[in-house]
Each structure stands twice: as C-alpha cells, then as structure tokens.
Amino acid sequence: MLNTLADFGRDDGPGDAVAHGVLQGPVELFASDAAVGDPTLHIEGVLFSLLGTAEPSTLQAWFAALCDGGSNIDPLQLRAWGDHDGQVTDRFGVRWLVGYEG
C-alpha cells in the first residue's frame, strides 16, 4: 500500500513522494521517502529477503506486487531442492528475494 504526499494533502515536498508505504501481512515493512532537507539513502549491493515469513499465497502476492513497475529478475518458482524462490527489483530499484518451503 502506498500513499503519496498529495494523497494526504501535504505540500511539504513533491506530491508524488511516498508519505506512507507498507507491505502488509504477517510481517509488516514500512517505508517512506526522506522529508525535504533530510539526507537520502542510496542502496546498492543489498538484497532484502522475505523467506518463509508468510503463507505461500501471501508471498506470491507480494512477489507480484514487487514486480509491478519493477523487473522480474528470476521468477518465483519451484527449485531443484524442493523450495520456491525468486528475485525481483522493485520500482524503486530495491532487490528482493522471496521464497517459501514446499
């Protein structure tokens, strides 16, 4: 779920900046853009993972949502060792590994 500054009627930054973003489910991950005047963070060479943190159907939905506007690097699929995983770079350039057992 993403809400922009404009969604909240805020004018303290670009209207399309993320004011409140959350990946909802058994594990909740919150993020927002830096406020005007605050330092920004540039992430390179980092991989976030969501391995076994939720039911398979939830992880599949998260993977699809992360792919929306991003790049599906390695499709979420059954692997030779019996587990499912895949990698995606989201629309913000953050790389994710999503997977589950069985």
Same domain, 48 and 69: yes
What pTM did the predictor assign? 0.72
Give ∠ CA 28-32-33 in degrees, rounded to 5: 160
pLDDT-based confidence at residue 36 (cuts at 50, 70, 90): confident
CA distance 12 to 87: 35
pLDDT-based confidence at residue 97 (cuts at 50, 70, 90): very high
Domain that holds residue 97: 44-102
CA distance 78 to 57: 14
Same domain, 15 and 55: no
CA distance 102 to 84: 7
The larger pLDDT score, comparing residue 40 to residue 5, is at 5
Q: What's the start-to-end Cα distance of the chain, in Å? A: 28
Same domain, 30 and 52: no
Which pLDDT tens digit goes with each residue over 3-32?
A: 999 999 999 889 999 999 887 877 788 888
The larger pLDDT score, comparing residue 75 to residue 40, is at 75
